[in-house]
């Protein structure tokens, strides 16, 4: 396969830069505590300074993998497949989710929403970032909004994002892990004063699992 042919397959979503895949417990948001199979796709130019998977940023570091192989392996483990990154919407998610749905499994995505929404999703976790805002289309389709609280200014950003999502979207505030001791008391007070919000924790880190 030539480099051009390979790139065409990547552009079409038939090959994806696969960073890692693993069966674990969902640690965050609405589905926390639920067993799920995670597929982490490489590639992200959003560039959050506190990102805990910076090794996912460069797609060329991760093997371009056939979506059929990703699907065949994932469905062996769970009927809930969570696609995360990196930023998975960097790539066309259509072929991956079409094949997953054909296998009868649920498709979840964790995304900043910075790129066009592709793919067929049963659950969309939107986690917007200030430095590269979501596309307008994803606000109407998000099932949950997860805003990361790194400092006090992030509460204002969270409210701005909450004003854009649909009425059924569940709202979460989650402390950035390295700032959790400082920010958690502020989050607790904020949620108690603004009960439309819920607290999300990275429970998988407390459980010491992936």
Annotated binding-site residue? 200: no
Query: How many beta carbons lie within 10 A of that of residue 194, not counting itself?
Result: 14
127 has binding-site annotation: yes
Would you say 27 is a known binding-site residue? Answer: yes
Residue 169 assigned ligand-binding role: no
- pLDDT tens, residue by residue, 26-78: 999 999 999 999 999 999 999 888 888 889 999 999 999 999 999 999 999 99
Question: Which region among 45-54, 82-91, 151-160, 173-182 has the lowest average model confidence (pLDDT)?
Answer: 45-54
The whole-number pLDDT of residue 206 equals: 86
Q: Which residues of 136-167 are buried (b: 16+ CB within 10 A; e: fewer)?
A: eebbeebbbbbbbbbeeebbebbeebbebbee
| 135 annotated binding-site participant | no
25 is in an annotated binding site: yes
50 annotated to bind ligand: yes
State the fold for domain 14-206: TIM Barrel (3.20.20)
């Amino acid at each position: 396969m030539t480099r051009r042919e390979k790139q065409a397959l990547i552009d079409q979503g038939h090959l994806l830069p696969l960073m890692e895949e693993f069966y674990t417990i969902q640690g965050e948001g609405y589905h926390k505590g639920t067993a799920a199979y995670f597929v982490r796709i490489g590639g992200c130019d959003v560039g959050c300074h506190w990102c805990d998977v910076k090794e996912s940023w460069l797609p060329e570091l991760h093997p371009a993998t056939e979506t059929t192989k990703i699907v065949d392996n994932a469905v062996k483990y769970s009927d809930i497949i969570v696609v995360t990154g990196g930023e998975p919407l960097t790539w066309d998610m259509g072929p991956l989710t079409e094949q997953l749905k054909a296998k009868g499994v649920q498709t979840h995505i964790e995304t900043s929403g910075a790129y066009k929404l592709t793919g067929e999703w049963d659950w969309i976790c939107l986690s917007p970032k200030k430095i590269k805002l979501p596309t307008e289309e994803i606000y109407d389709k998000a099932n949950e909004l997860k805003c990361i609280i790194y400092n006090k200014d992030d509460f204002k950003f969270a409210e701005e994002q909450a004003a854009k999502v649909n009425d059924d979207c569940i709202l979460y505030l989650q402390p950035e892990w390295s700032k959790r001791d400082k920010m958690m008391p502020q989050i607790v007070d904020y949620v108690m004063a603004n009960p439309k919000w819920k607290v999300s924790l990275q429970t998988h880190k407390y459980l010491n699992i992936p």
